[in-house]
Amino acid sequence: MKRSSSTFVAIALTVLLVIAGSLYWLRVKSPLSLLQGAPISAPEAALFIPKDAPLVASLLANPDRLQGLRQMRTPLLKRGESSAEFDRFKRSLLADTDLDYDRDIQPWLGDEVTLAITHLDGDGDRRNGTQPDYLVALAVKDAPKSREFLDLFWQNKAAAGADLEFEDYKGVELVSTKPQKSLFPLRSKTQKLNFNPFSSRSANVWASATVSDRFVLFANSADGLRQAINRVQVGDLNLTNSPTYQKALTYLTQKRLGLVYVDIARIAAWTSKTPMGSQRIANPLAIAFAADSRGLLADAMWLAQPDAFPTFPTIAKPVAALEYIPETSAFAIAGTDLDRLWQQLDRIRSSNPLLTRAIESAIDRWNANFGISLAEDIFSWVKGEYALALVPREDTQLDWVFVAQTSDTAAASIEHLDKIAADRGYSVGPFTLKGEHRVVAWTKLSAAEDESGSGPRLQLAAQVRGVRGNVDKYEIFTSSIEVMDRAFGAPRNGSLRSLEGFATGLGIFPAQNDGYLYANWDDSKLPLERQFPALKFIELAGESFFAHLKSFTTSSYKSDSGFERTGILFQLRS
C-alpha cells in the first residue's frame, strides 16, 4: 500500500511538472505569448541613438518567433506557402552576400533589431548633398557565435580585397574599411537606399563593433560607431533620456512587438529635397505595433503638447449614415459636424501645409470640376453625421456617394446646388427610381448617332453629373444613378457598417472618437497612390506586408493623458 502511494505521488508530481512546463512554454516560449507583447518592452539600443534622431524603427521580438506566431495563425494547408515566403524574405535580406541567415545569423540573434537614421546630413557639408548617418543594432543571445560571425564576415571582405582598419575605442574594437567612403556619394532621385550592412554593394562602407557582448552594431562610418559609444557613456545624449520618447514608451500599448519613432516633417523634407520652412513640427510621431487575433494593430501618438492640436468633433456611437454606404466600397470616411471639422483642418493647414497638401489638392480639384465651394456650399450645412465613400464600378473606375444628416439649412443649400448645376448648363429634373425613391438628377443632354439599326440615326444621350435623394433623416448625393440605387439598397443588401472587417475595427477603438476611415486595399490602392505619391516607396519597403493586406480601419481620439492618438487595424490575408 505504501509503495502504491509513493508511485501515485511520483506520477502526480510528474503530471504537475509536465503541466507547469507546458504552461511555461505557452506563456514564455510559445509564439502565442507574443499576443501579449514582446519579451522586452523598450528598445535597449536606444542607448546608442541621439535624442534628436529623425527616424528609429525597432523590432522587439526575434523574427523566427514572429514567423512561428504567423504559422500558428495560418490555415494548415497554407503553412507551407507561408514558410516558403519567410525563407524568400530571409534570402532577400542577404541577397548578393555570402551569408546564410539560418547558418550565420539565427544562432546568435536575440530579441531586438533596431535601425536608425541618426543624422540626415552627417558631415554637415551641403555642397556634397545630404549624407545621412545610419546605425543598425542587433541584439545578441550567444556572444561567442556573434564574434565568430563577425570574424568570418571581415575575413571574407579582406579576402575579396578590402583593406581593413582596426581600432580600440574606449575598450570597444571597431572594424571598418579604409579609406572611409560615404554610403551614398551623390544620391540621385532614382538611387535606391541600401540599409543592408551585409550587402556586397555596401559592405565596403560599413563599420562594425560588438558592445559588451549584448549588441552587434553596424554604422556607415567608424565615426558613427564612436558617437554611438559616446552616447552610452554620456547618458544625456541618447534617446532614452528624451522626454518625448519616454512618453511614447509610457502611453503606447504595452503589447507592442515593434516601435517606430519618426520626425515626419524632417523625413518628408529630406526625401522630397525641400527646405523645412513652416513645415517644421517640433514633436515626432510614435507608432507601436501589436499582434491581435483580429489583425495587426498600430497605436500611434503625436508627441505634442495636448493643446497643440485642435479639438475635432467627436462621436459617441457608430455613425448610422454608414448604413447607406455599400459594403463593396473601396474607401470611406465617416464622422460628425463636417463644418466644424473643416474649420479645424483649416487651422492645421495654415500652420502645417505639408500635412494637408493632399487634402487641399483634392478639395481644389473637386471645386474646379463642379464649380462649387465645398466649404461654403456643402460643409457649412452638415452639422450632424456624414459618410463619404468611393465605390468601384465594373470598368475599374470609381463612383462616389455622400450621405449627410439633414439640417435646418439643408433645403436652402441643396436648392443652391441645383441652381449652380443649372447655371453650368445641366438639366435639373426629378424622377422616381424603381418606383420607390424620388430623386433629382443633374444631366446634360447631347445628340449621338445610334448605328445599331439599319442605318445611323440621331438620338438623345444623357450625361449624368450627379444624383441626389433623401431617405429617413439623410440626404444622399451620388455620381451616378446606379450607385444611388446601391445606396438605397445598402441596408438590405449589405452596408459598410455591417461589414465584418469594418465592424471589427469599430470594436477596437474607444466609443468616443473623431470618426472613422476605412480602405479596402485592393480597390483603393491606385487612387491612394495618386493622392499620396510617397505611398509607393512605403509599399516597396514593406512589399511582403502589402501583399497580404486586405483592408485597414483607422480612428483618432484623445487619450486619457490628453495626447492625440490614432488607432489602426490592418486586416491581413492568410
Q: What is the pLDDT of residues 531-554, one digit of tens each?
A: 677 677 777 767 778 888 899 999
Give the whole-number percent of the chain exceeding pLDDT 90: 31
Torsion sign (Cα): 349, 354, 359, 364? positive
Amino acid in position 21: G
CB atoms under 10 Å from CB of 52, counted, come to: 13
Pairwise CA distance, residues 355 & 293, whole Å: 32
pLDDT of residue 22: 39
485-529 confidence digits (pLDDT tens): 999 999 999 999 988 878 777 778 888 888 899 999 988 888 877
Q: What is the pLDDT of residue 350?
A: 53
Residue 467 has pLDDT above 50, yes or no: yes
Q: Are strands 427-433 and 437-450 parallel, antiparallel or unpaired?
A: antiparallel
In 3D space, the residue among 244, 248, 170 whose CA is nearest the CA of residue 559 turns out to be 248
Nearest residue to 377 (alpha-carbon basis) of 339, 340, 406: 339
Amino acid sitting at position 304: A
Q: Residue 196 — pLDDT band, cuts 50, 70, 90?
A: low
474-478 and 398-405: which strand pairing? antiparallel
Say which residue, 444 or 8, is predicted with more confidence. 444
CA distance 503 to 516: 11
Each residue's pLDDT tens digit, 384-398: 999 999 999 887 788
Overall average pLDDT of the 121-140 stretch? 76
- The pLDDT value recorded for residue 183 is 44
pLDDT tens digits, one per residue of 163-177: 899 999 999 999 998
| Ramachandran class of 96: left when φ > 0, alpha when ψ lies in -120 to 50, beta otherwise | left
* 3-state per-residue secondary structure call for 231-285: HHHCHHHEHHHCHHHHHHHHHCCCCCCEEEEECHHHHHHHHHCCCCHHHCCCCCE
pTM for this prediction? 0.81
User: What number is the average pLDDT over the span 370-374?
Assistant: 78
Q: Is the pLDDT of residue 13 over 50?
A: no
**Would you tell me the crossing angle of helices 79-93 and 63-72 to the nearest 10 degrees?**
160
Instruction: Compute the mean pLDDT over every residue in the chain, rounded to the nearest whole number.
Output: 80
pLDDT at 339: 83
Asked whether residue 135 carries a pLDDT value surpassing 80, the answer given is: yes
3-state secondary structure 69-123: HHHHCCCHHHHHHHHHHHHHHHHHHCCCCCCCHHHHHCCCEEEEEEEEEEECCCC
**Looking at residue 377, what DSSP letter applies?**
I
Could you report the per-residue pLDDT of 37-84, keeping only the tens digit for each? 778 889 999 999 999 999 999 999 888 887 777 777 677 777 777 777
Annotated domain spans of the chain: 31-256+265-274, 305-448+459-549
Report pLDDT for 509: 86
- Residue 10 pLDDT greater than 70, yes or no: no
474-488 per-position pLDDT tens digit: 999 999 999 999 999
211-220 burial code (b ≥16 CB/10 A, e <16)? beebbbbbbb
